[in-house]
C-alpha cells in the first residue's frame, strides 16, 4: 500500500502555511471570535469528528480543540495512550491508517516531531501538531492573532524571546521567517534553539546572552517554562542555569513603551516570569489562551473538507 494515501493538507509546523494563508487564518480567527461573541451559530463541520491523541498533559489544547469542534457543529474524541493500543506498542503507521479511516482530522500532542510526520504520511485526513518537542504551531497562530488584535501587523517589529530555546522558541523562529519580523533570542549557553532553524532564519534571528540588552526596543517579549514536559528530571539544573533569565519589570522597562508580554502557559510565577509582569498591564496571556479557541476553529474550518 502506498505510504502517502492522500494529498490532504496537514499542519505540522507553521511553515506548512504560506504567508497569505496564515494571514487569512488569523483574520478568520478574529471573525469567528466576533461571531461567537454575537451569539451567532456557525456549524460548517456538522457530523465531522476530530480525534485528539495526547501523549502529554494539556489544559488549553484539549479544551480549545474539543470546545471548538462542538461550536463548529462537530465532535472531538480524546485518546490517551493509557487506554488505547497506542500505549501498548501498536505502530504509529497502523494507528494512522485505522484512525484516519474513521474520523475527519487528527490532532496529536507527542514528543518527537517524527511521530506526527509518520502519522501524517499514513493518514487519509489532515493531521494537526498539538505540540511536539520541536514546535507548537497552534499556539503560534493564537499568539500571532493576539499580537495582531492588540498592535496590528507584526512585520518589521522586534520580538524578544527570553529563556529556553525550546519548542515555543522554534515556533517564534518559524513565525519570524514567515512574517518577516526581527527575533532576538536571549538564552544561556547550552540552551540555544536548533542550529538549522537558526540558519534558516538568516539575519532575522540573533542569539544574545544578556536578557536586558535583548529587550531593548522590543514590541513583544515572550517566555515559557524552563523545563518543558519530558524534562522534569532536569528541573533543578535548569533552574540554576536560567536564574538570571526571569522576565521582570526591569527587563520589560528596557522595551518599547507599547511592549506586550506573552506566555503560552502554564506559567511558574517567580521562575521564568515575575508575578507583577504576567499579572500586570502589559501582559496579554489570557487573550493568547482564549485565542487558541478561535485560531484553531479557523484552522479546522480551513483543513477539514465541508
* Catalytic residue annotation: 109, 136, 139, 224, 264, 292
Return the residues of window 102-131 that contact ligand NVA according to CB under 6 A.
131
Query: What is the closest distance, in whole angstroms, from the C-beta atom of residue 12 to ligand CP in the complex?
Result: 16
Distance CA 159, CA 263 (A): 13
Q: Which does 59 bind (CB under 5 to 8 A by kind): ligand CP, ligand NVA, none?
A: ligand CP
8 is in an annotated binding site: no
Nearest distance in Å: CB 297, ligand CP? 16
Residue 271 found at the interface with ligand NVA (CB under 6 A): no
User: Which member of 33, 60, 170, 282 binds ligand CP (CB under 6 A)?
Assistant: 60
Cβ neighbours around 256 below 10 Å, total: 16
Binding range to ligand CP, per CB under 6 A, among 54-62, 146-154, 205-213, 273-281: 54-62
Which residues are 11's β-sheet partners? 128
The answer to whether 305 is annotated as binding is no
Q: Nearest approach, Cβ of 225 to ligand NVA (angstroms)?
A: 5
- From residue 184, alpha-carbon distances to 82, 128, 196, 202, 222 in Å are 40, 28, 16, 12, 10
Could you identify the residue written with the cell 495526547? 54
The answer to the question of whether 71 is labelled as a binding residue is no
* Residue 203: count of CB within 10 angstroms of its CB: 6
Check residue 67 for interaction with ligand NVA (CB under 6 A): no
**17-23 long-range Cβ contacts below 8 angstroms, 24+ apart:** 17/178, 19/178, 19/179, 21/302, 22/141, 22/144, 22/178, 22/179
List helix spans (H) across the chain.
19-37, 60-71, 92-99, 113-121, 137-151, 167-179, 195-201, 211-215, 235-241, 249-252, 275-278, 285-303
84 binds, among ligand NVA, ligand CP, none (CB under 5 to 8 A by kind): none
Q: How far is the CB of 259 from ligand CP (least distance, A)?
A: 21
Determine if residue 292 is labeled as part of a ligand binding site.
Answer: yes
Residues near ligand CP (CB under 6 A), total: 8
Any idea which residue has 516531531 for its cell?
A: 113
CA nearest 16: which of 302, 262, 306? 302
Q: How far apart are the C-alpha atoms of 206 and 93, rounded to whole Å?
A: 38
Burial label for 93, CB within 10 Å (0-12, 13-18, 19+), is: middle
Minimum CB separation of residue 58 from ligand CP in Å reads: 3
- Work out which of 162, 260, 264, 285 binds ligand CP, going by CB under 6 A: 264
Q: Is 141 in the site for ligand NVA (CB under 6 A)?
A: no
State in angstroms the smallest separation of the CB of 58 from ligand NVA. Answer: 8
DSSP-assigned letters across all residues of 142-192? HHHHHHHHHHS--TT-EEEEES--SHHHHHHHHHHHHHT-EEEEE--TT--
How many Å from the N-terminal Cα to the C-terminal Cα in the chain? 27
Q: Please indicate if the annotation marks 231 as binding a ligand.
A: no
* 265 forms part of the interface with ligand CP (CB under 6 A): yes
166 binds, among ligand NVA, ligand CP, none (CB under 5 to 8 A by kind): ligand NVA
Does position 256 interact with ligand CP (CB under 6 A)? The reply is no
Q: Would you say 263 is a known binding-site residue?
A: no
Known binding-site residue numbers? 58-61, 85, 109, 136-139, 167, 224, 228-229, 264-265, 292
Kindly list the residues in this chain that would bind ligand CP in the complex (CB under 6 A): 58-61, 131, 139, 264-265
Kindly list the residues in this chain that would bind ligand NVA in the complex (CB under 6 A): 131, 166-168, 224-225, 228-229, 264
Known binding-site residue numbers for L-ornithine? 167, 224, 228-229
Amino acid at each position: 500500500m502506498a505510504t502517502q494515501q492522500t494529498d490532504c493538507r496537514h499542519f505540522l509546523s507553521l511553515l506548512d502555511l504560506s504567508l497569505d494563508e496564515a494571514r487569512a487564518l488569523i483574520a478568520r480567527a478574529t471573525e469567528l471570535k466576533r461571531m461567537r461573541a454575537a451569539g451567532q451559530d456557525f456549524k460548517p463541520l456538522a457530523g465531522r469528528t476530530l480525534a485528539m491523541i495526547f501523549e502529554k498533559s494539556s489544559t488549553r489544547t484539549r479544551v480549545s480543540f474539543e470546545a471548538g469542534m462542538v461550536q463548529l457543529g462537530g465532535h472531538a474524541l480524546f485518546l490517551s495512550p493509557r487506554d488505547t493500543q497506542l500505549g501498548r506498542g501498536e505502530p504509529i503507521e497502523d494507528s494512522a491508517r485505522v484512525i484516519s479511516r474513521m474520523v475527519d482530522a487528527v490532532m496529536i500532542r507527542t514528543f518527537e516531531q517524527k511521530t506526527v510526520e509518520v502519522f501524517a504520511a499514513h493518514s487519509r485526513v489532515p493531521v494537526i501538531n498539538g505540540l511536539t518537542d520541536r514546535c507548537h504551531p497552534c499556539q503560534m497562530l493564537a499568539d500571532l492573532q493576539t499580537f495582531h488584535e492588540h498592535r496590528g501587523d507584526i512585520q518589521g517589529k522586534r520580538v524578544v524571546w527570553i529563556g529556553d530555546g525550546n519548542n515555543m522558541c522554534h515556533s517564534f523562529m518559524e513565525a519570524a521567517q514567515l512574517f518577516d519580523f526581527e527575533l532576538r533570542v536571549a538564552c544561556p549557553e547550552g540552551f540555544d534553539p536548533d542550529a538549522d532553524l537558526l540558519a534558516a532564519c538568516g539575519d532575522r534571528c540573533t542569539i544574545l546572552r544578556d536578557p536586558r540588552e535583548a529587550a531593548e526596543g522590543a514590541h513583544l517579549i515572550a517566555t515559557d517554562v524552563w523545563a518543558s514536559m519530558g524534562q522534569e528530571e532536569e528541573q533543578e539544573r535548569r533552574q540554576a542555569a536560567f536564574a538570571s533569565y526571569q522576565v521582570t519589570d526591569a527587563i520589560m522597562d528596557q522595551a518599547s513603551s507599547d511592549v506586550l508580554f506573552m506566555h503560552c502557559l502554564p506559567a511558574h510565577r517567580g521562575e521564568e516570569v515575575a508575578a507583577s509582569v504576567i499579572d500586570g498591564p502589559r501582559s496579554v496571556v489570557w487573550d493568547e489562551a482564549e485565542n487558541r479557541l478561535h485560531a484553531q476553529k479557523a484552522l479546522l474550518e480551513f483543513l477539514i473538507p465541508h
